[in-house]
Structure 1
Amino acid sequence: MKGIIIASFGSIYKEAVNTSIGVIESKVRTLYSNMEVRRVFLSDALVDKWNDKYDEHISSFTEVMQEFNRMGIDEVYIQPITLVADQCYQQMRKQALKFLHSSEYGFTQISIGKPLLTSLGIKNYADDYEATLDGILRHVNTKALNKSIILMANGQNQLEFSTLQLKAMYGAAPNVAVFTTNGFPTFKQALTLVDRMGHQDVLVVPLALIGSAHLMDYLGGERSDSIYALLAEEGYNVDIWNEGLGENPYVQDLFLKHLGQAVRMSDRKRNSRTESVQPMMTSSRMEVQSMIS
């Protein structure tokens, strides 16, 4: 039996989760109707807060893996709904390996899909960065005409977000500036790029998968340190894109693509093992027959 885990950091904002993670889950259930699909939050603190607030139960990663084991599911596919391979993602990978190699559980295979920003497009691999930029631009569409687009990332994975900026500058999206709230590139550096672009109008798009009320207040709220207020002080006409990336159908499809790659790669490995074992089995039968005769 096979099961799929849709794993995100999580959020306490139910509506925002349903319009992002929930939609991705529905698409996964449609594509893989023969598999059990479960949602998990990777933050134990958010699991507890959610379950205290809502009747709809959310499970931790450990709880779902234990449930799958009780159900007799031995092949598990995990698709992280994360932008980058951050600390939370790395912890989940370690947990998955422990389940795979533990004698207490009967898992024969655990495959993990890629986060959104992983492959650089070198050799024959897909370019996750260009695909993400293209998905954002296609979704905002006419809202971005004759405007600079500022992508705001809330995280510390500076290499991935710096790479996203380089990909944009090298032609994928020359009117896009990227900054992070806790690292490099900084907001001030993004402003320098926007100034060079020469547009008076700016569209701010959150590089966050779940568009929580807290995030939107930080971007466009009436507080004096909101991104909207800071840009307005610089003389720009500002619009805020009030959605998380998880609501973007093009980004949703990129996650489905990563899950599909994990499933196909797993199938190829299984078939390869079967083909390598078959000749050995045939040879063994011939040797046994020879010994009997």
Structure 2
Amino acid sequence: MKNLMRFSLSIALLCAVVFGFGAISATAVEAASKKAIVVTSFGTTFDDQRRDSIESVENKIKTGFPDYEVRRAFTSKIVMKRLAERGIYVDSLEQALEKLRQEGYKEVVVQPTLFTPGEEYDNKIVAVVHQYAHAFDKLVVGRPAVTFTGAHGTPNDYAIAAKALKTQLPVLQLADRAVVFMGHGSPNHVNPVYSRLQEQLDAAGANAVIGVVEPTGPTIEDVQASLKERGVKRVILMPLMVVAGDHANNDMAGDEEDSWKNILLADGYQVSVYVHGLGENAAFQDIYVQHVRDAVYGNYQKAHHGSKK
């Protein structure tokens, strides 16, 4: 009887050890497989644009990467503060990464919804990611919408973006009117992104002119000169931004005398406005999905910096 009891106890202990190690192994595997994508945007206080533009991009990425946890982060402290005053809380990129670290995530992709690389990308995204370089087994940054020029075997992001714009505005092909795109621009230097994209739009036969808000140009005066050369009288204004936020609603389409709409009206143009962000464009959403994919698989890493693997 005692021998039987000893045998039963041994079996019980063996099962406990086996199943115990099994549980630990399963936990370890689960921890190692925890992967996340932080979709990082400047942010907006416009509720419809958070839903129609930012959330639309996020949802497309969720669909494309069902094995990843997809989270939101904003970079604008002013936007986050104003939203918090209304009871809407959005993490900064630092907060989002810290939460993922504490929750045991091992692989993280930070995908900005920026249109172009610049100061916002360098200072508020890449710099923050570098601070967390040793917090994860793999931490990579996806590139903004237009980054590569097609050199050295990289995709031509400008040609892809021009094609995506044409899907959103079929009137780009009409000769009797021009689409004027308002970009943000860079505050301290001329950003070559806009001239490169202008070249692609011209090559694609799109009757479009790009200007930017920042005085570094191309300015609204440059836009006026281009419209005069093209000889059109009908103009459609559209933001060249992922979100149709403050710049689009006020600087572009506002009722103030110095809005682009009123400047062009005073010039004698028939002006209509298309206040929709690029994030509403399914083809632009696909661009960000592809850029996440490139980051996940390490495509073009020699050409695109800002990652730790």
Same fold, TM exceeding 0.5? yes
In 1, Cα distance between equivalents of 2:252 and 2:141: 32
What do residues 229-259 of structure 1 show as CA deviations (whole Å, max 9, x unaligned)?
1111222111111101111111111111111
Deviation at residue 116 of structure 1 after TM alignment: 0.9
1:9 aligns to what? 42
* Alignment equivalent of 1:178, drawn from 190, 194, 210: 210
- Counting only pairs closer than 5 Å after superposition, residues 165-204 of structure 1 correspond to structure 2 as 165-169=198-202, 171-182=203-214, 183-204=216-237
After the TM superposition, list the runs of 4 or more consecutive aligned residues in structure 1 that deviate by more than 4 angstroms. Answer: none
In 2, Cα distance between equivalents of 1:214 and 1:96: 28
Deviation at residue 172 of structure 1 after TM alignment: 2.7
1:154 aligns to what? 184
Equivalenced residue count is 262
Q: TM-score with structure 2 length normalisation?
A: 0.79
In 2, Cα distance between equivalents of 1:165 and 1:47: 33
Deviation at residue 90 of structure 1 after TM alignment: 0.9
Greater gyration radius: 2
* Alignment equivalent of 1:218, drawn from 228, 244, 251: 251
In 2, Cα distance between equivalents of 1:221 and 1:94: 35
2:70 partner SS = strand
- Counting only pairs closer than 5 Å after superposition, residues 133-148 of structure 1 correspond to structure 2 as 133-142=162-171, 145-146=174-175, 147-148=177-178
1:195 partner SS = helix
2:261 partner SS = helix
2:19 aligns to what? none
Distance of aligned partners of 1:114 and 1:173 in 2 relative to their CA distance in 1, 3 Å threshold: farther
Deviation at residue 6 of structure 1 after TM alignment: 0.1
Q: Is the 8 A contact 1:162 1:184 kept in 2?
A: no
1:6 partner SS = strand
Structure 2 unaligned spans of 5+: 1-33, 303-309
Q: Is the 8 A contact 1:133 1:173 kept in 2?
A: no
Distance of aligned partners of 1:214 and 1:123 in 2 relative to their CA distance in 1, 3 Å threshold: closer
The amino acid of 1:256's aligned partner reads V
The amino acid of 1:126's aligned partner reads P
Identity %: 24
Q: Is the 8 A contact 1:7 1:41 kept in 2?
A: yes
1:81 aligns to what? 113
What do residues 239-292 of structure 1 show as CA deviations (whole Å, max 9, x unaligned)?
1111011111111111111111111217x99xxxxxxxxxxxxxxxxxxxxxxx
Structure 1 unaligned spans of 5+: 270-293
In 2, Cα distance between equivalents of 1:33 and 1:99: 24
Q: TM-score with structure 1 length normalisation?
A: 0.83
In 2, Cα distance between equivalents of 1:144 and 1:242: 19
Q: Is the 8 A contact 1:119 1:127 kept in 2?
A: yes
* Alignment equivalent of 1:125, drawn from 139, 154, 160: 154
1:12 partner SS = coil
In 2, Cα distance between equivalents of 1:227 and 1:2: 44
The amino acid of 2:58's aligned partner reads E
